[in-house]
Chains A and B, each alone.
Chain A
Amino acid sequence: MAADAPRSRWRQAAWYLVLTALSVVVLFPIYMTLVRALSTPASYFREGQPLLPVDIQWDVFGRAFSEGDLGTKAVTSGVVTALIVGAQLLTSIIAAYAFAFLEFPGRRVLFGAFMATLMLPIEVTLIANVQTMRELGWLNSYQGLAGPFLATAFGTFLLRQGFLGIPRDLRDAATLDGFGHLAFIRRVALPVTRPVVAAFAVVSFLSAWNQYTWPRAVVSEGRWETIQIGLRSLSAATVDQGNVGLAAALLAALPVFALLIFLQRHLIRGLTAGAVKG
């Protein structure tokens, strides 16, 4: 044992070295973006693209708001995301409850139809959906941005799985206590499956906030741009202001990065749902 100790310490050191090297590779793109965001573009290129910032402009993050109008875009993204997450929770919880606990004709067929929507992502239905939105007059609007995402088969499936895991005894006890459907959902089903609900909410937030293709298709006016499609317009700006777009990109990733730090357990549980057995 004593003879082993130095060897295992070397091994540990070697692993730290490997892990640190890998971290550098993974973080390098973010680091370079930060370096270039902080540098004055002209000076940076004159210096031949060094690894450290040149002529640092600390106000670049502020300029993302003042020149890039990031605040308006963040509000649009925030409202759309809130609408989507809230609506998805509501529609998925009640649909999952029906599929898990209620008997009604057509249940299997309807469940199959719900699952079939997984095969029709927005990229497939894009052209037709944009037409529908145009006819409804919903281009450049919150309804248009959020509409197609107010329900989700993934969430319904996930929550139904959670509900089905509620022990029979608990349901019987609730029935004996005279709980109605709503009381059962609020006071038994949701508290018991809270980890599943939280995991779903976090993933729903992540995908709503990060969306690109659909907002790009239904928004043509600058003031309806979400933060993600705003990044495209900003990145197309002149090289002189290029660093503002980069600062905006880093800021746009912050809310999701916060999820990763503060709600890591839920995020991981949500992302691995369906991937890992048990």
Chain B
Amino acid sequence: MRRRTREALLGWALLVPSAAVFGAFVFYPLYRLIDLGLHEKNRFGTAERYVGLSQYADVLSGDEFRSGLSVTIRFVLLTVPIGIVLGVGLAVAANRRLPGIKVFQTIFSSTVASSVAVASVIFLVLVNPQIGFFGDVRYLSLAHTDSALRGIALSAVWANLGLTFIIVLAALQAVPEEIDEAAALDGYGPLRKLFRITLPLISPTLLFLVVVLVIFGFQAFGQVEILTGGGPARSTETLVYKIFNSQQPLDQGEGAVMAIGLFGLTFVVSLLQIGLLERRVHYGS
């Protein structure tokens, strides 16, 4: 009995450091956000009044949140499908036994080293309207409301390419060789084998990647700030960009509600991710 009590005390004690961090910087802020959303402040933050859920209703159905949501979702659609296709393409190309293949694999992985900020600065060199190498390519122009998000998306696709490549390549390498041989015996050509056998086999990994890239897309901020500053005409303001710029007392309530909205989005996608992690627990070796 005493031994079990001691074990329980030790168990709790070992969780205290992590729990303290999560309490202070994850759960307490969540409570604070909800509370901020229930109040309106004046310009100086010197007075606030309780407005209840009406602020939630107003903000979540308002133009500001909707435009942020629409930009964010468009950003996800511009980055995730093409990112997966390019990552799979590179991984399939580099998944073969050739002398020196490691060099190519390292090159394809290399963009994993670039942070959001580094990728953004690098893409300023390419797509900046004044000084960019592709500055006069209208399709990617950061200077026009209908194309600026594409320019930003391109930098994100490139920055995530290394990660996508690494994950897909690892999945391809885990496909047993007998399956390749069996496919060859059955007279499958390379393309048919890819689409009918290999890709279905690695589909759990692809699904995981979709989730990861979608969450990255939801969190997009640095690329927007560095490449366009939300412009032109606020056409590239993602949700996080709007949240980040709602820190003045007057805007805080609105920002908090938008953050709760972002949480809702993240929540749905994270549930999917945790489900995938759980699968790994059950089937993993």
Contacts and interface: CB of A to CB of B under 8 A. Distances in A.
Interface in A117-164: 117-121, 123-132, 147-148, 150-151, 153, 156-157, 161
B8 A103 contact: yes
Interface residues of B, number: 100
Interface of B: 4, 7-12, 14-15, 17-22, 24-30, 32-33, 36, 90, 93-94, 96, 98, 101, 104, 106-118, 120-126, 130-131, 133, 158, 161, 163, 166-167, 170-171, 174, 204-205, 208-209, 215, 218-219, 221-222, 225-226, 240, 243-244, 246-247, 252, 255-256, 259-260, 262-263, 266-267, 270-271, 273-274, 276-277, 279-281, 283-285
Contact of B109 (A119, A210, A232, A260): A260
B262 A124 contact: yes
9 contacts: A19-B98, A26-B90, A95-B14, A121-B219, A124-B30, A128-B259, A228-B117, A231-B120, A235-B120
A242 B7 contact: no
A121 B9 CA distance: 30
Interface in A233-278: 234-235, 239, 242, 245-246, 249-250, 252-253, 256-257, 259-261, 264, 267-268, 271-272, 274-278
Given A275-B167, A275-B208, A23 B104 contact: yes
Contact of B26 (A125, A206, A271, A277): A125
Contact of A92 (B18, B33, B109, B166): B18
Interface of A: 12, 15-16, 18-19, 22-23, 26-27, 29-30, 32-33, 36, 45, 49, 90-92, 94-95, 97-98, 102-107, 110, 113-115, 117-121, 123-132, 147-148, 150-151, 153, 156-157, 161, 181, 206, 209-213, 216-217, 228-229, 231-232, 234-235, 239, 242, 245-246, 249-250, 252-253, 256-257, 259-261, 264, 267-268, 271-272, 274-278
A94 B259 contact: no
